[in-house]
Chain A
Amino acid sequence: KNQVEQSPQSLIILEGKNCTLQCNYTVSPFSNLRWYKQDTGRGPVSLTIMTFSENTKSNGRYTATLDADTKQSSLHITASQLSDSASYICVVSPARWGFGNVLHCGSGTQVIVLP
């Protein structure tokens, strides 16, 4: 079972509206959680990174929240634009970067913004 689950799998919204993406994880111990935006055919671009002691982090119209107790994170997109159409991936890093540790990546949420 994947240790990082994202929902919804896909999302269609109208331009100008807000939306919230969810990421639940079971990775433990936990170091940091990142949200990435990936346009079709391109590499992922980092939006936010949060350690366990941070509750919220903003990057323009993107705001991420983190609840380390419940192991939940959300990414809120405000006043969506057509350029927000992309896949959003949640990535969790274990606490210890040791031999054999790997990243835990969600499958992503595909967002489509319609005019």
Chain B
Amino acid sequence: GAGVSQSPSNKVTEKGKDVELRCDPISGHTALYWYRQSLGQGLEFLIYFQGNSAPDKSGLPSDRFSAERTGGSVSTLTIQRTQQEDSAVYLCASSPYQGLGAVVVAKNIQYFGAGTRLSVL
């Protein structure tokens, strides 16, 4: 089946504008993660969803960042009043199950989308 789909693949915006990034996870995957990678940096965790709820929002860099997930499927990451330091690749990943345990160990794998390249001018 289809993998994790992110849109747009590339986004160029002006400083101060709002942007919305979209992630379509693999159908049936309950967990969804957002990361970003800035130039020369490692992956930075932003937020994850279990179903529609986000138990861990600790990674969001500021209150300009927000994310939501509806219907346990599509998620959107919104960045308000973008700054140049927001320029990065934003990655989304989904996983069939959130948790450890021998029964579900084979399912706790994250499948990554190709990312959205955001450039703030």
- Which A residues contact B (CB, under 8 angstroms)? 9-10, 12, 34, 36, 38, 40-44, 46, 49, 85, 87, 89, 91, 97, 99-103, 105, 107-108, 110, 112
Contacts and interface: CB of A to CB of B under 8 A. Distances in A.
B13 interface: no
Given A10-B106, A99-B10, A43 B43 contact: yes
A12 B42 CA distance: 27
A34 to B, nearest CB: 6
A46 B55 contact: no
7 cross-chain pairs, A with B, having the tightest CB-CB distances, nearest first: A43-B45, A102-B115, A105-B112, A46-B42, A10-B106, A10-B105, A108-B109
B9 interface: yes
A110 B108 contact: yes
Nearest to A108: B109
Which size class do B's interface residues fall under?
Answer: 20 to 34
Contacts of B108: 10, 40, 87, 110
B36 to A, nearest CB: 10
B27 interface: no
B117 interface: yes
A8 B48 CA distance: 25
Interface in B73-121: 89, 91, 93, 98-100, 102, 105-106, 108-112, 114-115, 117, 119
Contacts of A41: 48, 55-56, 98
B59 interface: yes
A10 B43 CA distance: 22
B2 interface: no
B39 A97 contact: yes
Contacts of B115: 102-103
Contacts of A12: 102, 105
A99 B116 CA distance: 11
Given A34-B42, A46-B42, A99-B10, A40 B98 contact: yes
Contact of B109 (A100, A101, A107): A107
Contacts of B42: 34, 36, 44, 46, 49, 91
13 contacts: A42-B45, A42-B56, A43-B46, A44-B35, A89-B110, A101-B89, A101-B117, A107-B109, A107-B110, A107-B112, A108-B109, A108-B110, A110-B106
